[in-house]
Structure 1
C-alpha cells in the first residue's frame, strides 16, 4: 500500500485548483467541449469490447531470490535491481483491478474498476450527441478517479495505483484528425507553460511504433524534466475510429454521426488529450520549488527556500505576515 497518498488541507486546495484551471481552459472557455461524469463501475463487456481485458497488460518478471516483482520494460539490465538475483521469464499481467458486484463472488458477478475515463465517454457518445446537438468537431471532457494495478510504483505521486485523470475525447472528421492532433498538442503544452512551468523543462516525444497502444494511430507524450530525468505527464493520442466501432460491434448500438453536408453516417476519429491530476500537481510543485539568495534587513546574505506557484493554482492566495512582538 506504499503507493497510496492522502492530500492535506493545502494539498487538496492545490489539487482542486489544478482541476478547476484545466476545466476552465478546456471546457468553459470553449464552445466545442462539454462535460461528463460517468460511473467508475461499468459492465465487464465494455472492457472486453475496448480491448482492455485482452490487451491492457504489462510484462511482469519476478526475482527468483528475493521474489520482488518488476516491469520488464522498466529494468536497465537482466538482473534483479534489488539483490542482483536471476529473473523469471516475462509474463503478461493485466493491470485492471477486479472486483465483484453483489453478495456472491463468482465469475458472473465479476467487474472491473475503470483504468481510464475514456470508455465512459464512448458508451455515452450517442446520448451526448442527441442531448447537445453537437456538430463535428466537438469534445467530451471528464475528470475522475481511475485505478491501475501497477506492478511497480514510485516517484512519490508520479506512479500510483489510484489517481485522478483529466481526459477529453475530441471527435473529428476522418481525414482532419492529424491537424486536430497537432493543435491539441500545442494547446496542452500551453496550459502548462501558462501556469508557470518553464518551457525548457518540457518536451514533446512521439511514441515509436512498438510503443503504441492497440487503438492508437499516433501518440505524443508531454514530458517534464524531473530531478530523476524526463517523465511523462500527459499523452495526446489519435485513437482513430477504433473505440466507437468496437462498441458498435459489441453492443449493436449505432454510434455514428450524421454529416448533413454529405448526407452520410460516419464514424468520427478521436483525438484524446489525457493527463493525470497527480502528475500535474507534482510537476507544478517541482517546478515551483525555488532556492534563492536574499539579503536580510541587517544586510546579511541568506538562503531561503520557497514555492513560486502561479496564483491561479496556489492554495493560499493572500497572506498577512508580521514579526513576533509587532502589531499589524
Structure 2
C-alpha cells in the first residue's frame, strides 16, 4: 500500500483580521453556530430571566476546511446552519433527547416530507463524538447519488461545552435552581439542521409531473408542479388579470395583498400559461381578476375573484373582501 504517514488535519479555516499578517491577528472562522450560544448562556439566562428548560436558536453561516469537498451540497466549505441549544436539568437529558427526536421528525412530516422518505439512525457508541452521550441523525432518501443523506443531527451534548468554556474562561456558567436551591451546569440537547440540505429535500419531495390531458397534437399534456407546503412557497398567491384591461383592478388587489403576503403579479401571456408558470414555482393559489369582477354597462361588478388551487386545479369564487382571510387559512402551519 502506498499510504502517507499519519498527519494531523485542521478542519477550521484560519485567516487574519486586518491588512497585515502577524500572529496577533490570527482568527478562525466558526465551524458551527453553537459555540456563540454557549459563551452567551449566562447573559441570555440573566437578561431573559428564563428558568430551565429553555432553548436558544440561531441561523447563520458555518465554515469547515473540508478535506474532500464535493458531493453536491453535502460537503461544502461554507454552508447555512440552523442550531438550537436546549438547556435542561442534568438527569432529564435523555427524556428531552427523545422529545426533540420526535419533534424534529414531526416537523418535517408536517411540511410535506413523506414518512417513507425519512429514517432515524442512532449512532453506535464507537462513532459518537467526544462530547456526545447520544446522537441520532434524521436522514432523507434523496432520489439521486446513493439515496440516504443526513438532514438533521440531534445530540445529547451533556454539560461538555459549558464546562469547557467555564474551565477556560474562569467565569461561572452554572445555573442556580431556586426550587432545588443548588447550582449546576445545565445539560444540552442540540438539534442541528443544514438549511441547504433540508431545502433540497423539500424541493425533491415537492417536484411532480402529471398528465392532465391531451394537447392539440394528440400528445400527452404534462403539467410540472412544485407541490410545496404553502408555508414554504416563495409566493403565497399570484394575481392574474384575465385581460390587460383589467390590470388596474388586479394591481389594486395585488398592492393590498402584498401588505400581508409575498404575492406575485403576472399579466403576460394566456391565462393557461400563467397558471403553469405559477405551478412550476410552487405558488399555492392563483387569483384571477375577470370581467365579472369589475362589471360593465350591462352587469354590475360582483367584486369577487376566481381562486385556483395549485394541487387540485379546482376553482372557487371568493369576495375580494375575504381574500386575505382565505389565503391566511390556506397557508396555516
Paired residue secondary structure (2:166): helix
Paired residue secondary structure (1:282): helix
Map 1:262-273 onto structure 2 (within 5 A).
Answer: 262-273=180-191
Distance 1:292 1:209 in 2: 46
Q: What displacement does 1:90 show? A: 5.4
State the partner residue of 2:162: 244
Higher normalized contact order (CA 8 Å, seq sep 6+, divided by chain length): 1
The count of aligned residue pairs is: 243
Which structure 2 segments of 5+ residues have no match? Answer: 241-269, 275-288, 291-333
The yes-or-no answer on 1:318 pairing with 2:237 is yes
Note closer, same or farther for the CA distance 1:285–1:92 as it changes in structure 2 (3 Å cut). Answer: farther
Distance 2:63 2:41 in 1: 23
Note closer, same or farther for the CA distance 1:297–1:236 as it changes in structure 2 (3 Å cut). Answer: same
State the partner residue of 1:146: 62
2:140 and 2:151 in contact (8 A); partners too? yes
Structure having the higher Rg: 2
Match of 1:253 among 156, 160, 171: 171
Map 1:105-184 onto structure 2 (within 5 A).
Answer: 105-184=21-100
Q: Which deviations, in whole Å up to 9, do the C-alpha atoms of 1:190-242 show, x marking residues without a partner? A: 11111101110001101112221111111100000012211001100000000
State the partner residue of 2:222: 303
Paired residue secondary structure (2:198): helix
State the partner residue of 1:37: none
Q: TM-score, normalised by structure 1?
A: 0.69
Which structure 1 segments of 5+ residues have no match? Answer: 1-77, 79-85
State the partner residue of 2:9: 93
State the partner residue of 1:194: 110
Paired residue secondary structure (2:9): strand
The yes-or-no answer on 1:279 pairing with 2:197 is yes
Distance 1:290 1:219 in 2: 34
Q: What displacement does 1:324 show? A: 7.1
2:215 and 2:221 in contact (8 A); partners too? no
1:158 and 1:282 in contact (8 A); partners too? no
Q: Which deviations, in whole Å up to 9, do the C-alpha atoms of 1:20-50 show, x marking residues without a partner? A: xxxxxxxxxxxxxxxxxxxxxxxxxxxxxxx
The root-mean-square deviation of aligned C-alpha atoms, in Å, is 2.1
Note closer, same or farther for the CA distance 1:160–1:176 as it changes in structure 2 (3 Å cut). Answer: same
Distance 1:91 1:285 in 2: 40
Q: What displacement does 1:170 show? A: 0.4
Q: TM-score, normalised by structure 2?
A: 0.68
